[in-house]
Structure 1
Amino acid sequence: MARRGRFRGRAVDAEVDAFLGLRYAEPPFGPRRFAAPVPTDPADDCPEFGPIAPQSARLPGAPVWRPGDEDVLTLNVWTPSTPGGPWPVVFYVHGGAYAFGSSAQPDYDGAALVRAGLVVVTCNYRLGFEGFGHVPGRPDNRGLLDQRAALRWVRENIAVFGGDPDVVTVAGQSAGAASALFLAAWEPVRRVIAHSVPNRCYTRGFAQRVAEWIDTATPESAVASADALVAAQRTGPLSHDPVLFGPVADALPMLRPDVDALLCHTDVEYRLFQEVGTFRPPADLAALGRAWGIPEHVVAAYAPLPDAHVRLAGDFVFAEPTARLADAHGRAFLARFTRPPAWHTADVPFSFGNLDGADFLIGGPAGAEERALSRRMLRAWVDFCATGDPGWTGVRHWGDEVPSRREAWRGVDLSAPVDHPVSGTGARPPRPAP
Structure 2
Amino acid sequence: MTVFRTRSGAVRGLRTASNPGVVVLRGIPYAAPPFGAGRFRAPRPAAAWDGIRDCAAFGPVAPQSAQLPGAPCWSPGEEDVLSLNIWTPGGLGDALPVLVWIHGGAYVFGSSAQPDFDGTALAGHGLVVVTLNYRLGFEGFGHVPPVGGGESCPDNRGLLDQIAALEWVRDHIAAFGGAVDNVTVAGQSSGATSVSCLMAMDRARGLFRRAVAHSAVNSCASPESAARTTQEVAAAAGVPATYDGLVSASPGALVDASDAVADAYRRDPASGQRHYDPAVYGPVAGGDTLPLDPLTASAARGASDVDLLVCHTTEEYWLMDAVGSSAKITTEEQLAVFAADFQLPVALLDGYRTLMPGAPVLDVFLAVYGDMLFGEYSSRLAGSHARAGGRAFLSRFARQRSGQGEPIRAWHCADIPFAFGNLDEESVHFLVGGPPAPADHELSGRMMRAWAGFATTGDPGWPPVGGTTGEVRIWDTAAGDSGAAWEAFRPGWRRAGLPLPAP
Same topology, TM > 0.5: yes
Shift of 1:64: 0.2
Alignment check: 8 A CA contact 2:92 2:174 kept:
no
Is 1:293 equivalent to 2:343 in the alignment? yes
Is 1:401 equivalent to 2:484 in the alignment? no
Is 1:371 equivalent to 2:441 in the alignment? yes
Q: d(CA) in 2 for partners of 1:121 and 1:35?
A: 24
Is 1:29 equivalent to 2:32 in the alignment? no
Q: How many residues align?
A: 419
Alignment check: 8 A CA contact 1:251 1:415 kept:
no
Aligned to 2:293: 251
Could you say what secondary structure the match of 2:496 adopts?
Answer: coil
Shift of 1:417: 5.8
Aligned to 2:200: 185
The superposition leaves residues 123-179 of structure 1 with CA deviations (integer Å, 9 ceiling, x where unpaired) of 100000110011112111110010010011101100000000100001000001111
Q: TM-score, normalised by structure 1?
A: 0.93
Higher relative contact order (CA 8 A, sep 6+): 1
Equivalence map 1:23-422=2 (5 Å) = 23-41=29-47, 43=49, 44-80=53-89, 85-137=94-146, 138-186=153-201, 187=204, 188=206, 189-214=208-233, 215=237, 216=246, 217-233=249-265, 234-235=268-269, 236=271, 237-249=273-285, 250-252=292-294, 253-254=297-298, 255-282=302-329, 283-284=331-332, 285-304=335-354, 305=356, 306=359, 307-330=363-386, 331-340=391-400, 341-356=409-424, 357=426, 358-393=428-463, 394-399=471-476, 400-402=480-482, 403=485, 404=487, 405-414=489-498, 416=500, 418=502
Q: TM-score, normalised by structure 2?
A: 0.81
Could you say what secondary structure the match of 2:232 adopts?
Answer: coil
Could you say if the C-alpha distance between residues 398 and 133 of structure 1 is closer, same or farther in structure 2, counting changes exceeding 3 Å?
same
Query: What value does the CA root-mean-square deviation take over the aligned residues?
Result: 1.6
Is 1:11 equivalent to 2:28 in the alignment? no
Aligned AA for 2:429?
Answer: D
Alignment check: 8 A CA contact 2:312 2:374 kept:
yes
Q: d(CA) in 2 for partners of 1:261 and 1:351?
A: 16
Could you say if the C-alpha distance between residues 245 and 42 of structure 1 is closer, same or farther in structure 2, counting changes exceeding 3 Å?
farther
Q: d(CA) in 2 for partners of 1:242 and 1:19?
A: 36
Alignment check: 8 A CA contact 1:23 1:74 kept:
yes
Q: d(CA) in 1 for partners of 2:175 and 2:128?
A: 11
Aligned AA for 1:353?
Answer: G
Aligned AA for 1:300?
Answer: D
Q: d(CA) in 1 for partners of 2:48 and 2:69?
A: 28
**Identity across aligned pairs (percent)?**
49
Alignment check: 8 A CA contact 1:272 1:344 kept:
yes
Q: d(CA) in 2 for partners of 1:27 and 1:82?
A: 28
Shift of 1:205: 1.5
Could you say what secondary structure the match of 1:168 adopts?
Answer: strand
Q: d(CA) in 1 for partners of 2:29 and 2:384?
A: 37
Shift of 1:412: 3.5
Alignment check: 8 A CA contact 2:308 2:392 kept:
yes
Gaps of 5+ in 1: 420-434
Could you say if the C-alpha distance between residues 37 and 55 of structure 1 is closer, same or farther in structure 2, counting changes exceeding 3 Å?
same
The superposition leaves residues 48-67 of structure 1 with CA deviations (integer Å, 9 ceiling, x where unpaired) of 10000000000000000001
Could you say if the C-alpha distance between residues 82 and 25 of structure 1 is closer, same or farther in structure 2, counting changes exceeding 3 Å?
closer
Q: d(CA) in 1 for partners of 2:179 and 2:200?
A: 21
Aligned AA for 2:473?
Answer: R
Q: Which moved more, 1:371-380 or 1:391-400?
A: 391-400
Alignment check: 8 A CA contact 1:345 1:361 kept:
yes
Alignment check: 8 A CA contact 1:199 1:414 kept:
no
